[in-house]
Amino acid sequence: MSTLLRLSCPDRVGLLALISNFIAQHGGNLIEVHQYTDAAAGWFFTRMEIDTRTLKVDLPKLREEFTPVATELGAEWTIRTAEAKRKVIVMVSKFGHCLADLLWRWHSGELDIEIAAVISNHEDFRPMVEREGLEFCHVPVDPHDKPAAFAKIAEIFRFVQPDLIVLARYMQILPAEVCAEFSGRVLNIHHSFLPSFVGANPYQRAWQRGVKLIGATCHYVTSELDAGPIVDQEVIRVEHFHTPEDLMRLGRDCERLALARSVRWHLDDRVLLHGQRAIVFRD
């Protein structure tokens, strides 16, 4: 049983002592602590895992008493119980390898989450999803009326209120207003080692360029395509004799790994955002 505190604020002397002292005063025993200071930005980041059993107050009271402390620090912060099951929406188009990987990790219990729905602009993966007893929402995207599709998708997001939306090779660009409304809660797996090969068909372009490393990048989704804060990346060597199809095959392993790690770290409150950068307190 643990309680997770995640906080970022303008840097000053004594922050770690101040926050850990607050927790100690409320009986909290620290299990795991991460701290980073971005000296250039003058910004402090921490993640603290607290043994819930030792706390003298419940979560609402802890939040209530921490609020004035955090306000004085000018902090962005969250406190929640690690055991609270997180709600996730997964989105996919025509390539299902990342979806399949997430479904297996969920099915096996490795990812202890609630998959509230799988949304796709195609019907291909309805059988795979419904075989798991999960909700499959087909929202086709008419190239001549994309706003109608994204109005429906945003409606689903607002109804479900997910902790995380995963674009698992979802090949439609989300409108700026959807990115803004769900900022910091949408992850995309891009099939290249960003910042190389932004946009569509990165494997084909990588092959044409003759690269010797390909990769995948998991990043938060913003209105600027494939430019959001990067959570994780994975690379693999390729050779001159590999075809574009070989690059896609080799790249799929990178995509699955980078996405699965990023989903876990986001849901464990191990990721803190500051501007275009993500601070990731990895486990």
Ligand X SMILES: Nc1nc2c(c(=O)[nH]1)N[C@@H](CN(C=O)c1ccc(C(=O)N[C@@H](CCC(=O)O)C(=O)O)cc1)CN2
- 226 given a catalytic annotation: yes
Smallest separation, CB 119 to ligand X (Å): 13
Residue in 163, 226, 232, 269 annotated catalytic: 226
Q: Which residue has the tokens 């997910």?
A: 162
Instruction: Give the single-character DSSP code of 171.
Output: -
Nearer to ligand X by Cβ, of 55 and 216: the residue is 216
Q: Are β-strands 43-51 and 2-10 bridged in parallel, bridged antiparallel, or unpaired?
A: antiparallel
Residues that bind ligand X (CB under 6 A): 167, 170-174, 179, 188, 190, 199-200, 221-223, 225-226, 228
What is the helix (H) or strand (E) element at residue 213, kind and residue range? Answer: strand 213-220
Nearer to ligand X by Cβ, of 115 and 258: the residue is 258
Written as one letter, the residue type at 263 is V
Q: What whole-number distance in Å separates Cα of residue 30 and Cα of residue 14?
A: 17
Q: What whole-number distance in Å separates Cα of residue 256 and Cα of residue 191?
A: 10
Nearer to ligand X by Cβ, of 190 and 252: the residue is 190
Angle at which helix 244-267 crosses helix 97-107, to 10 degrees, equals: 40
Nearer to ligand X by Cβ, of 79 and 194: the residue is 194
Q: How far apart are the first and last CA of the chain?
A: 17
Q: What angle do CA 139, 145, 148 make, to 5 degrees?
A: 50
Nearer to ligand X by Cβ, of 73 and 258: the residue is 258
Smallest separation, CB 160 to ligand X (Å): 19
Smallest separation, CB 217 to ligand X (Å): 8
CB atoms within 10 A of CB 80: 15
Q: Which residues have a Cβ under 8 Å from the Cβ of 128 and sit 6 or more positions away?
A: 96, 99, 100, 103
Q: Cite the active site residues.
A: 226
